[in-house]
Chains A and B, each alone.
Chain A
Amino acid sequence: MEFRPAPAGGRVRPMLVLALSTSTPRGSVALVRDGEVLGRAVHSELRAHAERLFAGIDEVCARAGVLRRQIELVACDVGPGSFTGVRVAVAAAMGISISLDVPAVGVASVEAMAAAALAGAPVGARALAALDAQKDELFIGDYQLDPSGALREVTSIVAMTRSAAAPHLARAMQLGHLVVGAGTALAGVEASISTEAVTLPDAAFVAHLGVLRASAALRHGSLAPVYVRPPDITLSGPVAHRPTGPSV
C-alpha cells in the first residue's frame, strides 16, 4: 500500500505518532504506529487548513479507535511551503504537544516527499524533491537513504529560480537520482514518480521520519518553521486593529 512507509527497523520503539502537514494546498493528518498507518485524513484547500485540521485529527483518532491521551509523539511538517500554511500545523502541533505533555518533532516538507520517493529503494539511493515556492522559484531538498532507513540531507534546502532549477534537476536525473514533487513541472522536468505522497508532502511520511528522530524531539522550546526565504517586508494596512501606515 502506498501509504505504508517501511517499518523503521528494530532499533525504534513502537510509538503512537500523530503527524500533521499543512505546508501545501494538500493538508494531511496521520496516526501511525510502528510503520502502520492507523488513520489518515486529507483535505485539499490551503485556505481551509486552519478550519479543517482538527476535524481531520478527530477523524483519524476515531477511525483508529485511539484516545488522545495515548498519543506519544507529535510529528509536524515544518516547511518549506506556504508561510502561513506551515504555521497552521506548527502552532497546532505545539498546542497539542504542551497539552498532552508529549514531545514534538519537525520534519521538512521536501524530506517527507523524498522519503515517500525512496520507500523501498536501496541504501544510498538519492532523491531531489521540489515544491512551488511562488515568485518564480522552487524549494528543493536533496536527500540520500541511510542504512538506518533515515534520510541524510545532501545539501541544505534552497529556493532556486525556475531557470536555474531546470538544468539542476535534469542533471540529477541523468545521474540516476529520483526527481520528484509538484515543483518539477514548473521547471519543465517530468517527475520520476508521481504518486500523491511524492508529489506533495504527506503526514504518513512525516510520522515515519519523526519516529526515527524521536530521541531528538523537543520537550520544551518551539518547533522552528523552515521558511528558507526571509519575510516579505510590507507594512500592515489599515484593516487590523493596529494598522501602521507605511510612511508619513
Chain B
Amino acid sequence: MTLTVLGIETSCDETAAAVVRSNGDVLSDVVRSQVELHAPFGGVVPEVAARDHALALPGIVRRALEQAGLALADVDGVAVTHRPGLAGALLVGLLTAKGLAWGANKPLVGVDHLVGHLLAIFLRRPGESLVAPPTFPFAALLVSGGHTAIYRVDDARLDRMQELGATRDDAAGEAFDKVAKLLGLGYPGGPVVDRLAATGVATRAAVALPRPMAGRSGFEMSFSGIKSAVARHVEAHGVPEGQALADLCAAFQSAVVDALVGKTLAAARAEGLSRVVLGGGVAANRGLRARMTEVAAGRGVEVFVPPLASCTDNAAMIAYAGALSLGRGEAAGLDLTPATKTALARVTRKGGGKRASP
C-alpha cells in the first residue's frame, strides 16, 4: 500500500515542509532558506534560526498541503526531523508536527536528518526524467556545510546504514565557506568558489596546499589544514585578484574534491560496493560531480547524483524516510524529544584510526 506523508524539516537554517508518497513521488516540496538572515554573522545563529522557524513554519506547512492538493485528513502520517541539529530549531518543527498529528489524529514519525539525506536519491520529482535509482547496497558520500561522511547503506532504514569514515574537523562545505570568507567572497561560499574555480588552473596557484589525509589508510578526512594553508597564504601575500584568485580557488577546490573522491572510492572498494550516491549541498559542486564520475568510471563504479533540490536540506526526504518507517509500523509517541546528534552508527573501521570525538 502506498502511504502519503507530510514531512517537516527545521533542523538548521531551512524551514521546509513537503508531501511525499512512499513510492518516492513528491507531491509538494516547499523550502524557505534563512541564509540571508544569518549572512551578516558569517554562520548560523541558533536563536535567530529558531525565531524565524517559529514564524515561518505554519505558512510553509499550509503551502505544502495546498500544493499537494490535500487536506491533513488525507495524509497517513506526519514525519519530522527530530535529530540531529540545533536543539531550539528542531523543537519548533517537532512541536508543530506533534500538534498537527494530534489534531488530525494521525501517527507521528521521527526521522534522523542524515537518513533523509541518504535516501534522497529515491525521490521522484515531477517533470524530471526518470533515472533508475540505485539498488542496495551502495556507498554514499554526504557532504554539506555541517556534515561530511561516507556511509555504507544496505537498506532504506537507520539500522542498515553505517558510517565508514567522516571528517575529523571541518565539514567540506564549512571549508568552502571559511575560505570564501578569507577571500572576501561572501557567505555561503561554495557556489562562488565553484564558479571561480571553473576559470582557474589549480597547478598555476602560487600556493602549495596539503592533500588532506591522502596518504592515510582508513576513510577519515580533514579539511581544516587546507583552510589554514589558504589563511597563511592570504596573510603573507594578501588576497589575490583576477586570474590569481581563480587559480587559488581551483587549487583549493581540487584539494578538497580529490580527498572526497579518493576516500569515497577507496571505501567503496574496501566494502565491495559498485555504486556511489552523492548527497548534501556540496554535491552541487561541479568539480566534485565531474571528478567523481570520471574516476569512478575508470573503476567500474556507478555514480548517482540527485538533483540539487534533493541534495540541499528539504522536507521531501524527511517525508519519504518517514513514509518508509510508517510502512514498517515505526510510529513515535507524542513524547518524542529532539537530539542534537545523529542516531546512525558511527564505526571506527580497522585501520581507520581513532575518530576525533565530535
Contact = CB atoms under 8 A, between A and B. Distances in A.
Interface of A: 50-55, 57-58, 68, 83-84, 87-100, 220-222, 224-225, 227, 231-236, 238-248
Interface string B100-119: 11111100000001100000
A99 B99 contact: yes
B218 interface: no
Given A68-B103, A98-B103, A233-B41, A239 B341 contact: yes
B99 A242 contact: no
B146 A243 contact: yes
Contacts of B263: none
Contacts of B315: none
Contacts of A97: 58, 99, 103
A232 B55 contact: no
A216 to B, nearest CB: 17
A92 B145 contact: no
A55 B336 CA distance: 11
A73 to B, nearest CB: 13
A242 B12 contact: yes
A50 B55 contact: no
Nearest to A67: B105
A50 to B, nearest CB: 6
A235 B13 CA distance: 12
B43 A99 contact: no
Contacts of B47: 83, 231-234
A87 B91 contact: yes
Contacts of A221: 58-59
A137 to B, nearest CB: 16
A241 B114 contact: yes
Interface centre among A221, A227, A242, A243 (most CB of B within 10 A): A242
A189 to B, nearest CB: 30
Interface stretch (B82-90, B190-198, B282-290): B82-90
Interface stretch (B169-177, B209-217, B291-299): B169-177
Nearest to B103: A99
Interface string B38-79: 000111111111110011111101100000000010000000
Interface residues of B, number: 67
Given A50-B94, A54-B335, A243-B171, A94 B146 contact: no
A57 B102 contact: yes
Contacts of A98: 58, 61-62, 72, 99-100, 103
A83 B319 CA distance: 28
A232 B47 CA distance: 6
B84 A245 contact: no
A220 B62 contact: yes
A241 B100 contact: no
Contacts of A236: 43-46, 49, 86
Contacts of A52: 335
A222 B44 contact: no
A245 B174 contact: yes
Interface centre among A54, A227, A233, A241 (most CB of B within 10 A): A241
Contacts of A241: 11-12, 84-85, 113-114, 144, 146-147, 342
Interface centre among A83, A88, A95, A99 (most CB of B within 10 A): A95
A232 B41 CA distance: 12
A241 B174 CA distance: 11
Interface centre among B47, B144, B227 (most CB of A within 10 A): B47
Contact of B55 (A100, A224, A234): A224
A28 to B, nearest CB: 16
Given A50-B95, A248-B227, A242 B44 contact: yes
A96 B72 CA distance: 11
A222 B45 CA distance: 22
B146 A234 contact: no
B338 interface: yes
Closest 9 CB pairs of A and B: A95-B99, A99-B103, A244-B43, A242-B146, A91-B95, A54-B334, A231-B47, A242-B12, A96-B99
A50 B13 contact: no
B41 A240 contact: no
A100 B72 CA distance: 9
A240 B55 contact: no
Given A68-B105, A100-B103, A242-B12, A91 B57 contact: yes
A151 to B, nearest CB: 25
Nearest to B50: A87
B170 A222 contact: no
A92 B96 CA distance: 5
Interface in B206-259: 227, 231
A51 B334 CA distance: 7
B58 A99 contact: no
Contacts of B146: 240-244
B208 to A, nearest CB: 19
Given A94-B96, A221-B58, 14 more contacts: A50-B95, A50-B337, A50-B338, A54-B334, A55-B334, A91-B95, A98-B61, A98-B72, A239-B341, A242-B11, A243-B171, A244-B177, A245-B170, A248-B182
A239 B87 CA distance: 10
B18 to A, nearest CB: 15
Contacts of B59: 220-222
